[in-house]
Amino acid sequence: MPVIIFIMTLLVFFPLAMADDKAVHASGEAQQEHFKAAGKPQKTGTAKSAAQIRLAPLGATVESVLAVGRQLNPALRAAALDTAAAASKAAGADALDDPTISDSYQFYRNPNVFSGHAIMVTQAFPLWGKRSLRREAALADLDAMRGREQAARDALDERIKVAFAHYYVASRALDVNREVIAEARGLRAAAEARYAAGTGDQAAVIRALSEETSASVETARLEGDRAAAREMLNALIARPAGAPLAEPLRLRPVPARDLAIASLVERARGSSPALATSGAEVNAAQARRTLAEKAWYPDLTVGAGPLIQTNNRPPGAAATVGLNIPLPWGKEASEQAAAAAQLGAAQQRYDAALLDIQSALAEPRERLKAARQADALVARKALPEARAALKSVIADYTEGRGDLTAALDAQRRVRDLELKLLQLQLDKQTALAGIERLIGGEL
């Protein structure tokens, strides 16, 4: 009779264990691809090549700096290792628990009843798809970690883009100031010539010399700004502060049309790492809630082993089958309540992340729009007019007409507009970098 009960129990519950095991292995290939994408180490080159990268001149374009930063930045490397750790953890999430071996000894005083050892190896088999749910939760945790890694990369990209824009603007401001110095020297020479010819006064010569000196002082300040921007870029890509950087050639192009907030939000829904992380956390919480609900369903434990008698009789065999009994003592109910609350919290965090992105997009979008409009006015109208006026005034002054004050005022006007144009370019690049970080990709 016990043998019949054992066989019937196996016939009922063992197919459930096997079905769950097949479900676990059915998605094995996809799961392995999932793990490889996260756990495969990124090629970072040998120590020698990394050292060469750290000292090699770069910086002509922001793309070159971004490529090195993604390769060498330690914070990004740490995020990649966290993702690899999550992948390793998920790889064993659906594994069976270790089997248990036990030895029980039965002793009887009656010599007619044999005594003996029953050595059993038992294995627990979770049923009802519990292993699949554990795997789903672990893979969702892995997706969340990938989202955090992408968020770290996007944050680094934003800082590099802004720092490169500062580096570019400081370099171009130095070029503007060199032109100012050259023009100031020309005005000083004209003032000296007029003074020597008796058509000018010494005060004009002194004012021209003072303007040239002020421009030289400004050069020292701008060189400090460029050095600070260069050191910031080197720090972001894990290079020595004094490592050489090439002269920046260009800034990234800015979208010519206005960016609709609705299209930006829709782009963020599909590629924002913050939303991807929150969505993965929701998926993990859903899997864990379903797993908690199945805690009321029993699991199967199967055991078998030899039965060794002490009366020198041939050994026999023993087998066991067991089911755990979920009793309503509060554990399962509390775990279900906790899982439901965690799911609700994850869903609220997703909604909050989406609202944060919507509100955060408004400011850089408007700043980009305003800077683009102002840039067009300065570059197409104000600056050409000021340059034409400066050219005319300088020509008049060098030919002995007009006064130095008008020439210096025209020169300052052009310089201020050129610096204003550079500041507007910096504003556009900063706003663009902020938008791209929020939506999770470049425009």
Q: Is residue 43 part of a domain?
A: no
pLDDT of residue 16: 46
Domains identified in the chain, total number: 1
| Cα–Cα dist 139/237, whole Å | 31
Q: Which amino acid is at 182?
A: A
Q: Is residue 42 part of a domain?
A: no
| Cα–Cα dist 395/412, whole Å | 16
Q: In what order do the strands lie in the sheet with 116-125?
A: 100-106, 116-125, 300-309, 316-323
pLDDT of residue 2: 43
pLDDT of residue 425: 93
pLDDT of residue 367: 92
pLDDT of residue 25: 45
Q: Is residue 110 part of a domain?
A: yes
Mean pLDDT by 10 residues, the chain (443 residues): 45 48 46 48 43 59 88 88 89 85 78 76 87 89 91 92 94 89 79 71 77 84 91 89 87 84 88 90 90 85 84 78 80 85 91 91 90 90 88 79 78 88 93 91 83
CATH classification of the domain holding 283? 1.20.1600.10
Q: Measured in Å, how far apart are the chain's first and last C-alpha atoms?
A: 74
For residues 275 and 269, is the Cβ–Cβ distance under 8 A?
yes
Which domain, by its residues, includes 90? 2-28+53-439
pLDDT of residue 42: 43
| Cα–Cα dist 74/146, whole Å | 17
Integer CA distances (angstroms), 169 to 5, 67, 282, 370, 424, in order: 84, 21, 44, 19, 10
Q: Is residue 46 part of a domain?
A: no
DSSP state of 94: T
Query: To which H or E segment does residue 307 belong?
Result: strand 300-309
Residue that has been written with the tokens 């938008």 in this structure: 435
- Helices marked H in 94-242: 130-197, 202-236
pLDDT of residue 200: 65
| Cα–Cα dist 232/220, whole Å | 19
Q: Is residue 35 part of a domain?
A: no
Q: Is residue 44 part of a domain?
A: no
For residues 278 and 346, is the Cβ–Cβ distance under 8 A?
yes
